[in-house]
Amino acid sequence: MSPSSPPARPLPGHYRSAAVIGGTHGLGRALALAARDRGLRTVVYGRSAASVPDPDGLLPRSLDLCDPQSVRTAPVDVPSPAYVLWVAGAFLKKALAETTEDEVERLTRLLFSGPVLFLRRLLAEAEDPVHLITIASSSSWKRRERESLYCGLKAAQATFVRNLVPELLAAHPENRITLVNPGGLAVPDFHTGLALDFGTMMDPGEVAEIVWNIAADQRRAFTEVQILRSRAPGSEGTPEVSYGARAPQAPEEPGADATAGETASTPIRHH
């Protein structure tokens, strides 16, 4: 946080800690630092957790979501009640027919099956309330090209969390769930190999503050929010927040006549 930034808004209630699954880079790192600034004991899980810079106030723990043994054995002792943040992610822009078996398996483990199995362990250990904050993506409902695997896994993540809500409430009536679908973030390492204008994308630190403020204000059991970047001239990259789920966009090019079976292809910028 820069010296000119306003102080972090305190979080209500009695939460003691935050466990950030995928807290070593990008938005995950920004969310972890914001949790620390709010006085939470912050556990950062990631494959490169041991090399996290500026570890003051953070507790790094090694977790490789692509390694089943690591998912089964990484420690899950987190001071409770706790926020649990599912942020781990990677991006793949490639036609499915061009994707290798290893790429399919690794991306599925990283974006979905690994976090689900690790989250299962965390929740099984929780005796006190948990506030689950899941960072999915607007790609879970937006039309994309050459991103079918990535978008499908993000849609699975969002649907899984929505349907997890009744189970969490049955486990503890004070449990809370926040599902966040962000648009394009200025994280060059996430978009490796793509020529994008990161000046028109959202700042991870700014989005992290929005996410934590939403968590601080949440009173209902479940909240779903979209954080999309403005494309208005002069405001490019400014976060725009709206609440509620979005219906999936049609796969046809916008404006195409679906009844004619047209599937014209035009480049679509990634969110």
Question: Considering only the top CATH level, what class is 17-260?
Answer: alpha beta
End-to-end CA distance of the chain: 25
pLDDT confidence band for 94 (50 / 70 / 90): very high
pLDDT tens for each residue of 13-59: 689 999 999 988 899 999 999 999 999 999 999 998 777 666 667 89
In angstroms, the CA 136 to CA 134 distance is 6
Query: Any idea where the domains of the chain sit in the sequence?
Result: 17-260
pLDDT tens for each residue of 222-259: 999 999 999 899 898 999 999 999 999 999 876 654 44
pLDDT tens for each residue of 170-224: 999 999 999 999 998 977 765 555 556 657 889 999 999 999 999 999 999 999 9
- How far apart, in Å, are the Cα atoms of 231 and each of 184, 202, 238? 11, 11, 8
The whole-number pLDDT of residue 1 equals 44
Provide the residue type at 219 as one letter: R
- How far apart, in Å, are the Cα atoms of 74 and each of 45, 144, 167? 9, 35, 24
The whole-number pLDDT of residue 267 equals 32
pTM of this structure: 0.87
CA 265 and chain centroid, separation: 28
The whole-number pLDDT of residue 260 equals 37
Range scoring the smallest mean pLDDT among 117-126, 135-144, 196-205: 196-205
For residue 222, give the 3-state DSSP assignment.
strand
